[in-house]
Amino acid sequence: MSLELPGNYRLSRLKSIQIRNVQEIQNHSKFAINTTENLWKRDVQLKRAISEGTIRIFISLHVQSKKLPVYITETSGNANHIFYVDEKVTEKLQKYRHEEYFIVRTWCSSSSHAFKLHKEWKILRYDSNFRYIGNDPVFAVCHIRNGLLCEFNDGVYIYTTSQSSDIMRQTSFPKSASTYSIDRRKDGYTIQKITRILKLAECIDEMHIAKHEIRAHFQEEEFQQIRLMHKRMLLRDEKIDELAKLEHLWQKQINSITQMRTKFDKTKSWLSSKRNTLNKSKESLQKDEAEYVELANSLKTKVETNIEIRILMAHAIRMHVSHLSKIYPIQPSPGNHDEFTIRNLRLSFEPDKINNVEMAASIGFLAHLLQTLSKYLEKELAYPILCASSRSSILDTLTPDIPTRIFPLYPATRPIELFEHAIYLLNQDVNDFLETFGLPIDQSMDILRNFKKLLQFILSGQHLSFVQVTSTAP
């Protein structure tokens, strides 16, 4: 297992950080109260120290790969600030063990100012200001201000500012700093003494505030007691008045109870008469119920009869449709099985394929067959047909804003668009029948083929499942 040599500063191996004698450079001797000065100047310096307070500090750690700090310490108010890295933080910093360097920033504030950046240290290997001083982080150079001590797994290193670097160069450090100590230059009033003075002043102020609060509390309690006594006297008078009102109300309630007793006797006799009426109504209801059962049985018989009639009608319709299919037989053409004829008359919409007389006659047969079938099946046509043999017509009652509603079902008319629209309406009536019985439409404009499919469906008896038969249970 390889050992880390001195100077290999990894963030993951950091154990503690210590900031020595934190002072702002521009206010280096702000709290240094000289005992040789006169009493007035020392009093001014003391008031200034009390008003501005001692310096507070916290530390943030940064790495090159992250914009935000990877760790922020708690705030400390000690002159020499030591921040230890515990096991949880060490596990968190373990992910940054491959960083080449890391940055330590100190943030300072007095009691009257917000925190601001105090100093920044870049912890980099072979830095001239970062020196190894041993394995004990407790002993350090006391006279150096704004000094940084970093304790790693392989030892303790000291990082100083440029002002203290000359002093460091004049000093030779032994292998262990446990035997090394230099007395610190001390001012008339040290930071510790000023802190005690500040705390004492705060205690005195708190005592005065507490005194005024206690006095105000006692005065408030006395005032509250007087108000409470006055409220109780008013409450006693109110209770006496309420007692008199309750006595008067009690007398009224006695009179009311007497009246209610009289009313109760009257209500009792009224209920007795209503009971007799109810018994009579009950007997009448039983008679009505017997009549209802008789009517329900009669209705059931009529419903069953109606069902039988509907079934017989459906069979009769089937028989009539069979007769119609014999009167107007729709069969494949002898020469071309892909085409159908009605009574051996062809029906084609291709130009010049059949003459107008044959087409008018076949359309007239089909129109009469369709109108008769709609009457048998009790289904109204969306576009009614005016049967007149080969001069039949069809009505368009649905299309809005048209100059005429009657369209001829024979081709010998001008303009030809009227005849084409009439054929379209006739085909829509046939398709409507197919959709009613759930039959597919193979070729939307092959009228005879679709009509043949409709007749075969009705003659097979499958249309009976579409007959609307209703039954009412008693």
Tens digit of pLDDT for each residue in 314-336? Answer: 888 888 888 988 999 988 888 77
Q: Is 85:14 a contact under the CB 8 Å cutoff?
A: yes
Q: Is 441 a domain residue?
A: yes
pLDDT for residue 362 is more than 50: yes
Alpha helix positions (H), 11-144: 39-52, 87-93
Paired tokens of 177: 């700093």
State CA 15 to chain mean position distance.
Answer: 47
Select from 296, 361, 366 the least CA-distant residue to 330. 366
List the domain range (segments joined by +) for residue 378: 325-466
Give me the pLDDT at residue 413, please. Answer: 63
70-125 pLDDT, tens digit per residue, is 888 888 766 566 777 777 777 777 888 778 788 888 888 766 567 788 888 888 87
Distance, CA of 360 to CA of 345 (rounded, Å): 10
Q: For residue 151, what are the β-bridge partners? A: 16, 156
Verify that 347 and 408 share a domain, yes or no. yes
Give me the pLDDT at residue 383, please. Answer: 94
Angle at 371 between CA 367 and CA 372, to 5 degrees: 115
pLDDT for residue 5 is more than 70: no
Verify that 170 and 219 share a domain, yes or no. no
pLDDT for residue 167 is more than 70: no
State the pLDDT confidence band at 7, using cuts at 50, 70 and 90.
Answer: low
Give me the pLDDT at residue 37, please. Answer: 54
Give me the pLDDT at residue 181, please. Answer: 33
Distance, CA of 86 to CA of 98 (rounded, Å): 20
Q: Is 123 a domain residue?
A: yes
16-69 pLDDT, tens digit per residue, is 888 876 665 445 455 454 555 555 665 666 555 555 556 778 888 888 888 788
Comparing 427 with 4, the larger pLDDT belongs to: 427
Verify that 331 and 437 share a domain, yes or no. yes
Q: State the total domains in the chain.
A: 3
Distance, CA of 62 to CA of 396 (rounded, Å): 87
Verify that 256 and 378 share a domain, yes or no. no
Q: What is the CATH number of the domain that holds 396?
A: 1.10.418.40
State the pLDDT confidence band at 157, using cuts at 50, 70 and 90.
Answer: confident
Distance, CA of 299 to CA of 469 (rounded, Å): 15
Element (DSSP H or E) covering residue 341: strand 340-342
